[in-house]
Amino acid sequence: MIMSETVLIIEDNEQNFYLIEFLLEKNGFTVIGARNGREGIQMARTHKPSAILLDIQLPEMDGYAVAAELKTHDETKGIPIIAVTSYAMMGDRERILGSGATGYIEKPINPETFVEEIRRYF
């Protein structure tokens, strides 16, 4: 039996979450989700996913803080974190990567290339 990769999506927007979940599941990934940063950190520590897709604009704790926190825990520091965000201004990419994210994908995502972009980080 082939095990599928588990991806944690930390995203508070239902439409964005549904689209990403649909694309990943259609391509054989197992998806778990969190709607805010604190819940996302807890789920990452509990489930140890293969990768984390992280929105930056989140309630309670923004994605910068979530990425930085995840990099401080032994059980989560090696998990690739891909920021999926509408933050596309000068310096945003560098700030996100500087906080601990492994990669960066701009919203709106391209459904045709999204899964391939994610697979680069495994």
Residue range 60-77, pLDDT digits in tens: 899 999 999 999 999 999
Q: pLDDT band for position 3 (50/70/90)?
A: low
Q: What is the mean pLDDT of the chain?
A: 94
Proportion of the chain above pLDDT 90, given as a percent: 87
Residue range 9-42, pLDDT digits in tens: 999 999 999 999 999 999 999 999 999 999 999 9
CA distance 33 to 14: 11
Amino acid 50: pLDDT: 96
Q: Are 79 and 49 in contact (CB under 8 A)?
A: yes
Task: Please state the domain extents for the chain.
Answer: 6-119
The CATH class that applies to domain 6-119 reads alpha beta
Amino acid 1: pLDDT: 42
Q: pLDDT band for position 90 (50/70/90)?
A: confident
Tell me the two tokens of residue 90: 């000068």
Strand pairing report for 81-85 and 51-54: parallel
pTM given for the model? 0.94
CA distance 9 to 53: 5
